[in-house]
């Protein structure tokens, strides 16, 4: 039977597996950063294209995907989840084709390309380490950049084998879109070089053609894009405060091994991983991490004699984790987050797919044992994924799990406080916010969120000093003064409100919300608008608003 008729069936089966294991994630709610990126993002809700571009200059494609979801489904979580699951299924098919073509291009062709590709794609479809990227709407950047990265890889591999200007253009164009979805896509030239050197079996003339025609130009683009991204990071996003730190680099290496362990033993998954600090270069964990990484790369080089897919898979996994390690080296972001391992996993699963292909070939005609073992593994992983989706269905449970796994860190406590607040349990949330502010007394965000909950629960006298703390910690921000102004309205003190809103307008004369609330105090708003403000203030105060203007 022709290959073109055989191959789509196993690829489609792998994609179907991806959809089935995430069916129970479609009704999961918004959690954590979903609110910041979507629910509380007016550019998404109003489909403001300019606002979408300015909201996140380095990842506009992701915001455009959110806007498209909003246009199609409205601001409801199931629609965003459906898009992420669909993208995951597409990525499973693309991973299948990458593995199928790589197995066909490899110098040793005695194994079944279809068996290797199906095993690789099926693992990618159902492994529980994929759940954070697929099931967390705020991780859309992972599944989205993976789609364009894999398409660019396939176009680049096609050009390497046979040339053609349209394939070259498609590779570069898709790669640029991938980088505009997430920065790690910049590693594509290095992945293509690894594919060229490890998989393709051609003479020096062909290698020179590929180097000059595609690889070198892409490396130049990569260098420019990387320089621009670092400049944005250091000068705009963090005001010149970012600087590389060797200790953070060592922590990033430690995180690499933690990722790898979770793929082999998917126990202990969490929305947050506390990677302990490393004191210096001669710390035992640092020495073990660096030595292990060197040994892994040496083993990858030696394994090229066994089969090209083994070193390619290892190098793919390592290279695609480098960008997040570089970010951690600058002290930005957490050193470990499961969603970052989504695309790197394709390389690891490619190596595992080769192992299954070798087992399949060794089994000969009687492959019952090999098929049964593979089925048991896939069913086990799928069950773990389905259970993991259930945990993501309950933000409070998800955060409580993180606090158990990282009891001494403030981030899980913050996640728990936010989950409690968003679920309407503000009284419980205040206790968690107090834990966070005790650990981070200079963090205005935690104080501000705590003040919101104190107001909602009617504890207005407690909210006032907290809001003053917000204003003192961040005097340039309007949040503290705005909160104090709203609090004064709720307490029936319009003169005090004018003072606070006036301070906001001194710094920002165009602040629309301050202008609106001043007009409300002065009773100059139209009736319909005044009623809307009353409803908003009533919601802010938990329905216990006592303002004369709202009684009319």
How far is residue 319's CA from residue 299's CA, in Å, rounded to a whole number? Answer: 15
Nearest of 259, 164, 141, 264 to residue 214 by alpha carbon: 164
Residue 35 belongs to some domain of the structure: no
Least confident of 233-242, 315-324, 487-496: 233-242
Residue 116 belongs to some domain of the structure: yes
Q: pLDDT tens digits, residue range 240-290?
A: 555 677 888 899 999 999 999 999 999 889 999 988 888 888 889 999 999
**Confidence bin at 330 (pLDDT 50/70/90):** confident
pLDDT number for residue 235: 64
**Confidence bin at 3 (pLDDT 50/70/90):** very low
What do you get for the CA distance between the two ends of the chain, in Å?
79
Tokens of 162: 């046979």
* Shared-domain flag, residues 345 and 412: no
**Matching residue, tokens 């089966």:** 13
* Shared-domain flag, residues 444 and 318: no
How far is residue 168's CA from residue 37's CA, in Å, rounded to a whole number? Answer: 34
* Shared-domain flag, residues 313 and 441: no
Report whether pLDDT(5) > 50: no
- CA 345 to chain centroid: 14
pLDDT number for residue 541: 64
* Shared-domain flag, residues 516 and 536: yes
Question: What mean pLDDT comes out for the span 193-201?
Answer: 90
Last residue of a domain, one of 392, 412, 447: 392
* Shared-domain flag, residues 379 and 405: no
CA 159 to each of CA 92, 164, 168, 213: distance values in angstroms, whole numbers, following the listed order: 22, 6, 6, 10
Residue 420 belongs to some domain of the structure: yes
> Which domain CATH number covers 522?
1.25.40.10
* Shared-domain flag, residues 385 and 416: no
* Shared-domain flag, residues 174 and 284: yes
**Matching residue, tokens 């207005």:** 460
Q: pLDDT tens digits, residue range 369-392?
A: 888 889 999 999 999 999 999 999
Residue 36 belongs to some domain of the structure: no
**Matching residue, tokens 């961040």:** 474
Residue 71 belongs to some domain of the structure: no
How far is residue 263's CA from residue 127's CA, in Å, rounded to a whole number? Answer: 8
What are residue 544's phi and psi, to 5 degrees?
Answer: -105, 45
Helix %, strand %, coil % of the chain (to 5):
75, 0, 25
DSSP class of residue 40 equals T
How far is residue 500's CA from residue 477's CA, in Å, rounded to a whole number? Answer: 12
Last residue of a domain, one of 392, 413, 429: 392
User: What's the domain count of the chain?
Assistant: 2
**Confidence bin at 293 (pLDDT 50/70/90):** very high
| Contacts with 367 (C-beta within 8 Å, 6 or more apart), sequence order | 360
Last residue of a domain, one of 392, 413, 437: 392
Q: For the chain, give the percent of residues with pLDDT over 70.
A: 91
* Shared-domain flag, residues 20 and 7: yes
| Contacts with 59 (C-beta within 8 Å, 6 or more apart), sequence order | 141, 180, 181, 182
How far is residue 188's CA from residue 173's CA, in Å, rounded to a whole number? Answer: 12
How far is residue 417's CA from residue 516's CA, in Å, rounded to a whole number? Answer: 30
Question: What mean pLDDT comes out for the span 93-114?
Answer: 85
Residue 45 belongs to some domain of the structure: no
How far is residue 385's CA from residue 131's CA, in Å, rounded to a whole number? Answer: 7
Residue 142 belongs to some domain of the structure: yes
* Shared-domain flag, residues 329 and 443: no
Check if the beta carbon of residue 391 is closer than 8 Å to that of residue 24. no
| Contacts with 16 (C-beta within 8 Å, 6 or more apart), sequence order | 89
**Matching residue, tokens 């799928």:** 382
Number of Cβ atoms within 10 Å of the Cβ of 124: 30
Check if the beta carbon of residue 433 is closer than 8 Å to that of residue 426. no
Q: pLDDT tens digits, residue range 411-461?
A: 999 999 999 998 889 999 999 999 999 999 998 999 999 999 998 888 888
Q: pLDDT tens digits, residue range 29-54?
A: 999 888 888 887 777 777 666 666 66
Report whether pLDDT(400) > 90: yes
* Shared-domain flag, residues 289 and 412: no
* Shared-domain flag, residues 158 and 242: yes
Q: For the chain, give the percent of residues with pLDDT over 90.
A: 51
Q: Which domain holds residue 170?
A: 3-30+76-392
Nearest of 390, 387, 385, 264 to residue 19 by alpha carbon: 385
Q: Which residue has the higher pLDDT, 318 or 512?
A: 318
* Shared-domain flag, residues 410 and 368: no
Check if the beta carbon of residue 486 is closer than 8 Å to that of residue 492. no
Residue 235 belongs to some domain of the structure: yes
How far is residue 267's CA from residue 269's CA, in Å, rounded to a whole number? Answer: 6
pLDDT number for residue 108: 60
How far is residue 215's CA from residue 161's CA, in Å, rounded to a whole number? Answer: 13
């Amino acid at each position: 039977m022709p290959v073109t008729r055989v191959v789509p069936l196993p690829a489609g089966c792998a994609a179907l597996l991806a959809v089935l294991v995430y069916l129970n994630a479609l009704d999961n709610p918004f959690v954590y950063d979903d609110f910041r990126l979507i629910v509380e993002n007016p550019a998404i809700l109003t489909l403001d294209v300019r606002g979408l571009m300015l909201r996140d200059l380095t990842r506009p494609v992701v915001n455009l995907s959110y806007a498209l979801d909003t246009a199609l489904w409205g601001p409801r979580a199931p629609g965003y989840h459906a898009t992420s699951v669909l993208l995951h299924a597409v990525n499973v098919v693309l991973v299948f084709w990458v593995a199928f073509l790589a197995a066909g291009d490899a110098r040793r062709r005695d194994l079944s390309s279809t068996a290797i590709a199906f095993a690789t794609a099926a693992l990618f479809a159902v492994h529980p380490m994929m759940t954070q990227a697929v099931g967390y709407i705020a991780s859309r950047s992972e599944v989205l950049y993976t789609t364009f990265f894999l398409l660019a890889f396939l176009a680049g591999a096609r050009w390497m084998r046979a040339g053609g200007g349209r394939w070259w253009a498609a590779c570069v164009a898709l790669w640029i879109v991938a980088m505009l979805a997430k920065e790690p896509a910049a590693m594509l030239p290095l992945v293509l070089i690894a594919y060229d050197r490890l998989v393709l079996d051609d003479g020096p003339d062909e290698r020179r053609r590929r180097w000059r025609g595609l690889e070198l130009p892409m490396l130049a683009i990569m260098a420019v894009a990387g320089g621009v991204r670092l400049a944005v990071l250091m000068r705009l996003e963090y005001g010149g405060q970012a600087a590389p730190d060797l200790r953070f680099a060592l922590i990033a290496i430690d995180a690499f091994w933690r990722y790898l362990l979770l793929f082999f033993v998917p126990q202990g998954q969490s929305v947050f991983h506390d990677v302990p600090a490393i004191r210096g270069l001669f710390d035992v964990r640092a020495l073990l991490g660096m030595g292990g990484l060197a040994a892994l790369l040496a083993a990858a080089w030696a394994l090229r004699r066994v089969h090209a897919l083994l070193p390619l898979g290892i190098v793919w996994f390592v290279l695609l984790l480098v960008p997040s390690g570089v970010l951690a080296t600058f002290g930005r972001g957490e050193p470990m987050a499961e969603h970052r391992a989504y695309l790197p996993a394709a390389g690891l699963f490619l190596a595992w797919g080769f192992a299954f292909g070798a087992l399949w070939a060794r089994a000969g005609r009687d492959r019952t044992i090999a098929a049964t073992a593979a089925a048991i593994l896939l069913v086990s992983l799928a069950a773990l994924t389905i259970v993991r989706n259930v945990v993501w269905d309950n933000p409070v449970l998800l955060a409580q799990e993180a606090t158990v796994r990282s009891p001494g860190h403030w981030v899980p406590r913050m996640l728990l406080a936010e989950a409690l607040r968003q679920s309407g349990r503000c009284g419980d949330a205040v206790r968690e916010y107090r834990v966070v502010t005790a650990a981070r007394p200079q963090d205005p965000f935690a104080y501000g969120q705590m003040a919101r909950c104190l107001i909602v629960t009617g504890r207005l006298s407690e909210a006032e000093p907290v809001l003053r703390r917000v204003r003192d910690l961040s005097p340039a921000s309007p949040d503290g003064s705005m909160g104090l102004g709203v609090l004064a309205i709720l307490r029936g003190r319009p003169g005090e409100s004018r003072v606070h809103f006036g301070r906001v307008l001194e710094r920002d004369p165009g602040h629309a919300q301050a202008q609106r609330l001043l007009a409300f105090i002065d009773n100059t708003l139209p009736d319909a608008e005044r009623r809307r403000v009353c409803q908003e203030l009533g919601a802010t105060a938990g329905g216990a608003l006592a303002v004369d203007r709202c009684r009319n």
